Amino acid sequence: MILGAGSSFRAAKFSDGRRKAYYLMSIHDHLKQIPTPEIEDLGWAKALELAKVARHEGRGFNSAAWLDKAKQSSKQELKREVYKHLTGEDYEPYEMVYFKLYESQLPTVERALLVAARMVGSERSRGYCLELVCADLLAGRTEESTPEEILMLIQHLVKLLPPEYQARLAGQGQEELERAARC
C-alpha cells in the first residue's frame, strides 16, 4: 500500500513524527521564494510562523521583511508578532491543563460546555466555555465574593460574549448593567 510506504518513509526521514513532517511540508509549500539555506538557518519553528503569514497573504507576502523580523526575533516574539498580524489582537499566553474525568462525570461536563458554547458562540474554544462555567459558578457564590470580584466576573463574562451581544450591552446605560449585576 502506498500510504504505508509513505508512512514508513516519513517515520525514517522525520523521526520527530507526523506533525513535524506536515509542518515541513507547509513550510516548503508556502516559502518557496526564500532560499532553502536561509530557512534552514532560521529553524523550522520560525519558518512555520512565516508560512502562516505567507499562506494568509498569498502573492502579497513580503518575504524579505518577514525574514528579517524572524532573524531578529526570538521564537516567542515572532509567534506573538504573527498572531497579532493575522488576528489584529495581542497574543495571550496560555497553559495546557490536564485533568481526569470519570465516565459518569463526562455527560455533565460536556452538557455544561455545550450550553456555554451556545452562549458565547461556537467559534470560542472549550477553554473559554470552561471559563464561562467557572465564572458563572463564582458569580453565583455572592456570599463568599466581594462586590469588586463580582463586578470583575461580570465584566469578564461580557468580554466572552459574541461582539453583537457586547454591542447591545454597551448600548444600555451603566445603571442597567449595575442593576443586572445585582440580580
Say if residue 112 is in the same domain as residue 172: yes
Say if residue 111 is in the same domain as residue 176: yes
CA distances from 116 to 98, 102, 153 (A): 20, 21, 15
Say if residue 11 is in the same domain as residue 47: yes
- The DSSP line for 16-53 is T-HHHHHHHHHHHHH-TTS-HHHHHHH-HHHHHHHHHH
Sign of CA dihedral 73, 74, 77, 82: positive
Cα-Cα end-to-end distance for the chain: 64
Domain count, the chain: 2
Q: Tell me the pTM.
A: 0.50
User: 134-166 pLDDT, tens per residue?
Assistant: 877 877 766 777 778 778 777 777 777 777 877
What is d(CA 43, CA 163) in angstroms, rounded to the nearest whole number? 38
User: 59-114 pLDDT, tens per residue?
Assistant: 888 888 998 999 999 999 999 999 998 888 887 778 888 889 999 889 889 998 88
Last residue of a domain, one of 57, 87, 117: 87
Q: Which domain holds residue 152?
A: 106-182
Please indicate, yes or no, if residue 100 is contained in any of the structural domains. no
Cell triple for residue 168? 447591545
